[in-house]
Amino acid sequence: MNKKLIKKSLPENNSNLSATFSPDFNSLIEPLINLVSEANLKKALKQSIIDSELSLRKIEKCFNYLSSCQWSKEFLALFFNSWKSTHLKMLAIYALSCRLQRLALSSEADRQQLFFLAASYNAATSYEDLGLDFQGVTHAQLYDQLAGFFLGDFPWQLDYYCLPVAREFKNWIYQNMVLDDIGTGLLTNIFSEIYNHCEYSIALHHFSNFIDRYYVCSEAEKDKHLCYIKAHVINETEIDHFLVVFKALEAYNQATDQKINYQQARAIFTTYLTRVGMIMELLTEKMKKQINAAT
């Protein structure tokens, strides 16, 4: 895989991505798919995007709505709690790495190294989440900082403010990574990194516009508030994660004499987008109701 190809999908000065570039899933995901050389994985990615066109439009529509109005704290609490459930899956990733490590410890020497490699590669996606090399500031803290800017001390973290479908999505991710077979977990993690890059790129644009339109703060303050989103986009963090989880899957498949199952991968990727699309559609409906109530 050649990461340099991804540069073609971004403007030259991607530090100004939020202000200058209005991305969509298709323009963002195609260069990522082009990084993939493994035939079944590439085919599954392409087909799942075709299968999920409606879900992708629902997600884009939600972010379009988000930047169009100044919302109540009740809605923003619902948004930030539910959106958090589609991200910040560090525990599930850690559990998947532990499963691979435990498998390595119980394996013969010829396969042990491959399982250890798979565990290490998968764990590498948590470095930023844990705050390694970032003064110990975790992504969970950055997310709380983002939500706190809009909500202050409003109790947005209460379970009451999480959509049931968002909670179900979080449980589905946990099921895939912790309880189902390891191959399912790695495929789920691979797709989450691809999806995250695209969604965070879209979110950065709309959150920046949202702040510019309805809140008063300096550019430096805005950068601080948006640090959680920017951390995933500006340095292509999620692209790096995608590439390293693919290495984990390659090592695991080599150790187990398996190949990527096209039908399995396609089903996981399509289900992922369908579930997120449902969450975003419900959030959009909540925004529409608030607009209608105000007119």
Q: What is the pLDDT of residues 11-52, one digit of tens each?
A: 333 434 444 446 889 999 999 999 898 999 999 999 999 999
Q: Which two tokens stand for residue 266?
A: 């396609």
| Cα gap 57→277, rounded to integer Å | 8
Distances (CA, A) of 157 to 26, 74, 80, 147, 282: 32, 12, 8, 10, 19
198 within 8 A of 28, measured Cβ to Cβ: yes
CA 13 to centroid of chain Cα atoms:
23
The amino acid at residue 40 is N
Q: What is the pLDDT of residues 101-130, one digit of tens each?
A: 999 999 999 899 999 999 999 999 888 778
| pTM given for the model | 0.91
For the chain, list the domains and their CATH numbers.
Answer: 70-294 (1.20.910)
pLDDT of residue 9: 38
Containing H/E element for 77?
Answer: helix 73-84
